[in-house]
């Protein structure tokens, strides 16, 4: 049995589709929503990761686990998985562990990686860069008045399509040769916020007005989404504190999946409805 956490999220939903399409199984999806709907043949486990007794029940018979970090107390989740007999965990961490290791969000990811590596279970660690789906933060403003306000308008980052993280996770979960490996994952090219908005506008066949704002103004607007503990780190890794490691386009998606990494333009086309 293979358990997917974060099963209704950007990566988890795509991962379940990948696993079903590739004939992997049996599969179980963990969600807090008992009514959640998943592809045919996928079992639903209704559990909050804060509830370790419920997690233990969801882990019955599970040998492989896809774990999205940061949804609960990761150290306890990893320990519960080990005790339940899980053999292999594929963990979603973050590229910031290697690009910006010191601010709190990355330090937490780094700690989770170490806990997993010390757990005695087999592990594969995925360190994705900024997700294309972060553009959904602009969806309300685009729907309401076709405007976007963002800082660092012309800073291009190698944004990744979440389905490519899922594709690598599927390979790591179901094919040999990926245990004890850490993969930094990016998209196929760097793309700026201004270019992302242009791609969304093209997908909608409508104009969207883009306004570059200062870091201070962006901080005020992003604070409700990211909180005091993370907002400065988010602004650093999206333009305020760049380094070559963060900017580097990597070939890991294509190397492990055999298909080129998907572009932001593709993500925008697939998700245009969210901005209408
Ligand atoms: N966004 C980025 O740019 C970026 C970059 C690098 C790394 N990351 C990492 O990527 C991960 C996020 O992946 P994602 O975007 O696929 O996630 P997501 O879309 O935010 O979805 C996470 C899912 O987890 C479930 N969930 C939330 N709290 C839960 C809880 N207490 N117990 C059980 N389930 C819970 C929710 O499903 P239900 O409501 O169905 O329970 C939700 O759909 C995080 O670890 C993040 O740090 C993100």
Q: Which atom of ligand 1 is nearest to the CA of 96?
A: 6
199 lines ligand 1 (CB under 6 A): no
Tokens of 128: 């994705």
| pLDDT by 10s per residue, the chain, length 276 | 999 999 999 999 999 999 999 999 899 999 999 888 899 999 999 999 999 999 999 999 999 999 999 999 999 999 999 999 999 999 999 999 999 998 888 999 999 999 999 999 999 999 999 999 999 999 999 999 999 999 999 999 999 999 999 999 999 999 999 999 999 999 999 999 999 999 999 999 999 999 999 999 999 999 999 999 999 999 999 999 999 999 999 999 999 999 999 999 999 999 999 999
At which residue do the structure tokens 């962006």 appear? 218
pTM of the model: 0.98
State the Cα–Cα distance between residues 49 and 42, nearest whole angstrom: 19
Mutate to test the pocket of ligand 1, among 4, 5, 6, 8 (most ligand atoms within 8 A of CB): 6
Spatial CA neighbour of 124 closest among 190, 167, 177: 177
Q: What was the pLDDT predicted at 34?
A: 81
51 lines ligand 1 (CB under 6 A): no
CB-based contact 235:133 (threshold 8 Å): no
230 lines ligand 1 (CB under 6 A): no
Q: Which segments of 140-244 are extended strands (E)?
A: 147-150, 181-185, 209-212
Q: Which segments of 47-162 are extended strands (E)?
A: 64-68, 88-92, 122-128, 147-150
Q: What share of the chain is helix, strand, coil (3-state, %, to 5)?
A: 50, 15, 35
36 lines ligand 1 (CB under 6 A): yes
Q: What was the pLDDT predicted at 176?
A: 97
72 lines ligand 1 (CB under 6 A): yes
Sign of the dihedral defined by the CA atoms of residues 77, 66, 181, 241, in that order? negative
Q: What was the pLDDT predicted at 130?
A: 98
Q: What was the pLDDT predicted at 85?
A: 98
Q: What was the pLDDT predicted at 9?
A: 97
**Homologous superfamily, domain 2-129+162-185+249-257:** NAD(P)-binding Rossmann-like Domain (3.40.50.720)
Domain positions in the chain: 2-129+162-185+249-257
240 lines ligand 1 (CB under 6 A): no
């Amino acid at each position: 049995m293979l358990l997917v956490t974060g099963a209704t999220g950007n990566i988890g939903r795509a991962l379940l589709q990948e696993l079903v399409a590739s004939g992997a199984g049996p599969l179980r999806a963990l969600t807090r929503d008992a009514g959640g709907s998943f592809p045919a043949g996928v079992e639903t486990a209704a559990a909050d990761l804060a509830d370790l007794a419920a997690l233990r029940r969801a882990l019955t018979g599970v040998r492989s686990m896809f774990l999205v970090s940061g949804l609960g107390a990761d150290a306890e989740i990893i320990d519960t998985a080990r005790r339940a007999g899980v053999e292999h965990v594929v963990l979603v961490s973050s590229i910031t562990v290697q690009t910006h290791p010191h601010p709190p969000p990355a330090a937490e990811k780094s700690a989770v990686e170490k806990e997993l590596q010390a757990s005695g279970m087999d592990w594969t660690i995925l360190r994705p860069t900024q997700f294309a789906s972060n553009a959904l933060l602009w969806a309300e403003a685009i729907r309401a008045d076709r405007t976007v306000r963002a800082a660092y308008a012309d800073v291009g980052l190698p944004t990744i399509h979440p389905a490519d993280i899922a594709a690598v996770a599927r390979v790591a979960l179901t094919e040999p040769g990926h245990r004890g490996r850490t993969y930094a994952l990016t998209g196929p090219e760097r793309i700026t916020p201004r270019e992302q908005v242009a791609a969304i506008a093209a997908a909608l066949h409508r104009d969207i007005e883009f306004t570059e704002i200062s870091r201070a103004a962006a901080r005020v607007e992003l604070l409700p989404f990211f909180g005091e503990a993370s907002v400065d780190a988010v602004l650093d890794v999206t333009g305020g504190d760049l380094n070559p490691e963060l900017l580097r386009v990597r070939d890991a998606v294509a190397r492990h999946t055999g298909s080129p990494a998907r572009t932001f333009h593709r993500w925008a086309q697939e998700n245009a409805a969210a901005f209408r």
